[in-house]
Structure 1
Amino acid sequence: MPSPSERPATMHRTAGVILAAGASRRLGRPKQLLPYGHGVLLDAVLATARDCGFDQTVLALGGAAGEVQRAVDTTGCEIVLNPDFGEGCSSSIAAGITALHPDTVAAVLLLGDQPGVRAVTVRALLERLFSGGERTGRGAPGIAVCRYDDGVGHPLAFTRRMLPELGSLHGDKAVWKLLEQRAGDVVELPVPGPIPLDVDTEEDYRRVLAGLEGAL
């Protein structure tokens, strides 16, 4: 039988929200479609999401949405288009949350340009979220984050009571401000190693590819 860290918490309806609506301005080409492994960057993220055991997977698209839908297998995803993608990541979070099933108990934010996140980490993060109150002696937490060797990073998980506040954020870094404001509601999952790389520049992309080659 798989351990709790190897399977989703089956008594809770969970959702993954994949944030892949960026315009890739710094890169100059759609980063979702950068070659990676046997497909493209977003293919790898979607493969991870399918492995997580979510009851629902929402994919937020904006910049290059048409190209992405033509090139990427989005089977199993509910696609939401974010016309305000230029206003930052929070607009994609809001778009994704509006598509969640009303019985969703927890949602996990995944970055569409961060292929190094593993499904086992996401499953363990949800387990940490659901059991956090028991372990800390406090009430049930509203947020679970990954604590890597070099800091806190994605994926991030939120319980249903936090979703309205999460969906009302504005700006590109607002989710981090929410974590600061709600520090008492946050539990951490220790994850060995550095924060998985995401892609904003050509140098980021070269580093992500180097990491993939090193893992083979």
Structure 2
Amino acid sequence: MFVTGLLLGADSSPHLGVPWQLLAYHGETLLGATLDVARECSFDQLIVTLGSASEQIHDRVDFDGARVVESPHADTGSSSIVPALDAVDRRTDGIVVLLGDQPGVTSATVWSLVAEVAGPATPIGVSRYDDGHGHPCWFGKELFGELRQLRNDADLWELIEGGRYPLTQVDAIGNVPPRAGTWDDYRRLVSGYTPAAGAFTPGAFEGPPVDTHPVPLPTRSRPRRRTAH
């Protein structure tokens, strides 16, 4: 089975006033940390979408092993998934969609999802956490035509919940991993991280207070990885 990982990193951060992709996150940038998780999944192909802050992000984030798709109009509500589909390898059986500001998703969650949708194959798969549905999500290649009709990336949920296609729900451990949509969300994201366990536990982080205007950090150097398809 050929699986493409699609990491969405093109949307803007109107409630933050700075690119969320470059927020400091435990010695890394937020997007860089999530990209590390995506690499751990060992997808056959890895695609990352970037929006209007692409130039700034390229200066600080290492995209080794991933193909970057520019989606400059994502900031105005256009879907970054639509242009990304043009970069998907023709051999793929489907895509796993991940969010660039959600580093709490684990590779185990991703491959539990893939294992369930692989046999018998279903068009849509979604992770079912204790407090609701969330990413990663799976879309088989038979749905690429539908995905090309998306007005914005959030419309994925209309496709998932619309009832027009069979849906596989796969149990995931804990609650939906936090994101960084606002400064309060960002504080919770950082304070809920337990480095030793690699998991999110509310109140577990005992580091310094989160800076409300964090300075983006340079990414760590990494060894060369498998070339993206």
Taking structure 2 as the reference length, what is the TM-score of the superposition? Answer: 0.82
Kindly tell me: are residues 166 and 41 of structure 1, through their superposed partners in 2, closer, same or farther at Cα, counting changes over 3 Å? same
Which structure shows the bigger proportion of residues in helix conformation?
1
Q: Distance in 1 between matches of 2:166 and 2:36?
A: 30
* 2:57 is the counterpart of 1:68: yes
1:152 alignment counterpart:
133
Alpha-carbon offset, residue 172 of structure 1: 4.8
Q: Choose from 100, 106, 123 the match for 1:118.
A: 106
Kindly tell me: are residues 125 and 188 of structure 1, through their superposed partners in 2, closer, same or farther at Cα, counting changes over 3 Å? same
Name the aligned partner's letter for residue 74 of structure 1.
Answer: F
Moved more, 167-176 or 150-159: 167-176
2:174 alignment counterpart:
193
Q: Distance in 1 between matches of 2:36 and 2:153?
A: 25
2:150 alignment counterpart:
169
- How many residues are matched? 197
Q: Does the 8 A contact of 1:87 with 1:172 survive in 2?
A: no
Q: Does the 8 A contact of 1:21 with 1:82 survive in 2?
A: yes
What SS is found at the alignment partner of 1:54? coil
* 2:90 is the counterpart of 1:102: yes
Q: Choose from 127, 131, 142 the match for 2:115.
A: 127
Q: Superposition pairs for residues 70-89 of structure 1, below 5 Å?
A: 70-88=59-77
| Identity fraction in percent | 38
What SS is found at the alignment partner of 1:84? helix
* 2:6 is the counterpart of 1:25: no
Q: Distance in 1 between matches of 2:169 and 2:151?
A: 24
Kindly tell me: are residues 34 and 110 of structure 1, through their superposed partners in 2, closer, same or farther at Cα, counting changes over 3 Å? same
Q: Distance in 2 between matches of 1:150 and 1:22?
A: 24
Kindly tell me: are residues 146 and 152 of structure 1, through their superposed partners in 2, closer, same or farther at Cα, counting changes over 3 Å? same
Alpha-carbon offset, residue 83 of structure 1: 2.2
Q: Does the 8 A contact of 1:114 with 1:196 survive in 2?
A: yes
Structure 1 portions without partners, runs of 5+ = 1-11, 134-139
Q: Does the 8 A contact of 1:87 with 1:171 survive in 2?
A: no
What SS is found at the alignment partner of 1:17? strand
